[in-house]
Structure 1
Amino acid sequence: MKMDVLALGGVFDTGLAAVLDTLATANELAAAQGWPAPPFDVRVVGLRRRVQTALGLQVPVQAADGRAADWLVLPAIGTKMPPALVAALATREVRDAAAHLRDRHAACTRIAAACIGGFVLAESGLLDGHEATVSWWLGPLFRERYPAVRLDESRMLVASGDFVTTGAAIAHMDLALWLVRQASPELAAVTARYLIVDPRPSQAPYVIPDHLAHSDPLVGRFERWAREHLAQGFSLAAAADALATSPRTLQRRLEAVLGKSPLAYVQDLRVQHAVHLLQTSRSDVEAIAAQVGYADAVTLRALLRRKLGRGVKELRAR
């Protein structure tokens, strides 16, 4: 399988290394298992003759030519917060990268983008109409810039058509293992064991809900109101009245900024607070359920399992 890894200026050091190390490990393990040839022919390519990582290291690159390849992999650039990211996306190199991605896709190369690399892929327009994920704290910005993309930032990895996107930082390794899995599920499994990587289907356990809320004044006010009334049954009408807006406006604003309803966001806050109480107190599950607005522990247990994929015992053990 031929793969080009496109390193842009300021590439995220950990992300680039995670992709290359995972594929190199898979090649070594394949050789140990008697494969006749390495399954992955990997090149690191660049749009500029000299590429420097976000931490200042020089990356040896080959020219990003039009060689036939199965996959082009786009690691993140090392810009993590919205203002700096918006500035980075306006650079000539990102525009050139977007054009290069369109050319490579037209030549039947599939594209995988990790973390903030998903923004560069979205700049090309190729993701329009497709499902995608991105670093969880950048969901509001992504949704605002690329409304034609069906974003679900709660997921760790999303495959849609010829494209694969992943969530934040270490999800570069999830992406690389997914690519290995396309060649051999067995090889991917043993590679993951050597690297001590557990499957992580969701970013939900890592999300900080109030961090997302601060991207919009009305959403931020709703977040503060919801926390103050977490133990009470949720009422959209009561929330809208307290915030001097209409239920429809509040519903539409949360959908636009966070991609979820007010009730779904309140559930996120309840899950976050419940996990905090499970890990920092000796209260039983019934008492914790009452503190976060549920009538019984059964409902809370089901919500924790659905949202986080973990039960009470697992969460308390952590």
Structure 2
Amino acid sequence: MRISVLALEGLFDTGLTVMLDAFGLANKFSATQLGGTPRFDVSIVGVRKRVRSGQGLTIPVQPVTAGLKPDWVVVPALSTGTPEQLIPALTRPDVVQAKAQLLKWHAEGALIAASCIGTFLVAETGLLDQQEATTTWWLGPLFRQRYPNVSLDESRMLVPSDVGVTAGAALGHLDLALWLIRRASPELATLVSRYLLADIRSSQAPYIIPNHLAQADPLIQRFEQWSRKNLRSGFSLQEAASALATSTRSLQRRCQEVLGKSPLAYFQDLRVEHAQSLLRGGRLDLEAIASEVGYGDGATLRTLLRQRLGRGVRDLRSDLL
């Protein structure tokens, strides 16, 4: 498998290195333990001759040449973790040139992989339009508003599509590398993940901080504050809209546009977050925690936790041991 990693100025150091280490280990284990030859021909390429990482380290890039025909092009994240940093970065000359190169590679048959903020660069090309994708969870609202033609689910860690694959935040770079390795050999991917002590994560949901998402919009932020005050009493769309001096329709529309979910679904996210916090405290039993977050019994809360987090109460409590 020929993989070209597209390195841009100011990229996220950890994202690049963790991918290179994973592919390097895969080649090593393939040759020494699985009786095969190295499976991954990885090159780091750049649209500029000199590229520095976000930490100021020089990255040894190869120039993009006409003869370069990768099977996969991987786009690591830029070190631009806020909308204020990211939006101007997307208009930089080197980023514009990189977008044109991605379109060229894709037209020649290459598949595109991106993780974290790298997904924004791919979305800028239009390649993700009418496709499912994920991105770094805390920039989900910005992604959804900027690319309305992309079907975004920031709760997922990895989302394959016709274009290639997108991955979630930060260490989603490792999940992305393991996904590509698994395409060549599930046995090899398991060996690399065990060597790195890397659990395979299917969801970003346990890591999402709801109030960070709410900060993307003033109305949603006020709705988040109202919701936290009313977790025990339960959800009423009419009461929420009235307290926020807006209509139920406007509140529903803004939640969908910013968060990609209904007001009730976001309210339940806050319940799950608070329940997790109480579970970590370890002082209350499940019935008491259910009462604290507005449910009549522990069974209902248990079901919600499993639906939202993919894990049961016993698993969540075991994290404390």
Q: Same fold (TM over 0.5)?
A: yes
| Amino acid paired to 1:167 | G
Spell out the pairing of 1:146-165 with structure 2 (5 A cutoff). 146-165=147-166
Q: Aligned partners of 2:308 and 2:222: how far apart in 1?
A: 24
| Partner SS, residue 161 of structure 1 | coil
Q: Aligned partners of 2:101 and 2:297: how far apart in 1?
A: 55
| Partner SS, residue 140 of structure 2 | helix
| Corresponding position of 1:299 | 300
Deviations 1:73-96 (A, max 9, x none): 111111111101111111111111
| Corresponding position of 1:52 | 52
Q: Aligned partners of 2:244 and 2:163: how far apart in 1?
A: 43
Q: What is the Cα deviation at residue 317 of structure 1?
A: 2.5
CA contact (8 A) 1:74 1:112 kept: yes
CA contact (8 A) 1:6 1:64 kept: no
Q: What is the Cα deviation at residue 306 of structure 1?
A: 1.3
Q: Aligned partners of 1:38 and 1:166: how far apart in 2?
A: 24
| Corresponding position of 1:9 | 9
CA contact (8 A) 1:105 1:111 kept: yes
Q: Aligned partners of 1:313 and 1:218: how far apart in 2?
A: 36
Q: What is the Cα deviation at residue 272 of structure 1?
A: 0.3
Q: Aligned partners of 1:278 and 1:121: how far apart in 2?
A: 39
1:33 aligned onto 2:29: no
Gap regions ≥5 residues in structure 1:
none
Which portions of structure 1, spanning 4 or more consecutive aligned residues, are displaced by more than 6 angstroms? none
Deviations 1:111-153 (A, max 9, x none): 0001100000011111111000000000011111111110000
Spell out the pairing of 1:181-196 with structure 2 (5 A cutoff). 181-196=182-197
| Partner SS, residue 203 of structure 2 | coil
| Amino acid paired to 2:98 | A
Q: Aligned partners of 1:274 and 1:111: how far apart in 2?
A: 38
TM-score (norm 1): 0.98
Q: Aligned partners of 1:34 and 1:254: how far apart in 2?
A: 50
| Amino acid paired to 2:160 | A
| Corresponding position of 2:105 | 104
| Corresponding position of 1:139 | 140
Q: Aligned partners of 1:154 and 1:96: how far apart in 2?
A: 30
| Partner SS, residue 112 of structure 1 | strand
| Corresponding position of 1:248 | 249
Spell out the pairing of 1:1-318 with structure 2 (5 A cutoff). 1-66=1-66, 67-318=68-319
| Partner SS, residue 74 of structure 2 | strand
| Amino acid paired to 1:134 | T
- Higher deviation after alignment, 244-253 or 26-35: 26-35
CA contact (8 A) 2:127 2:163 kept: no
Q: Aligned partners of 1:309 and 1:127: how far apart in 2?
A: 27
Q: What is the Cα deviation at residue 34 of structure 1?
A: 4.3
Q: Aligned partners of 1:262 and 1:65: how far apart in 2?
A: 50
Q: Aligned partners of 2:52 and 2:226: how far apart in 1?
A: 45
| Partner SS, residue 45 of structure 1 | strand
| Amino acid paired to 2:199 | D
Q: Aligned partners of 1:303 and 1:94: how far apart in 2?
A: 42
Gap regions ≥5 residues in structure 2:
none
| Amino acid paired to 2:8 | L
Equivalent residue pairs, number: 318
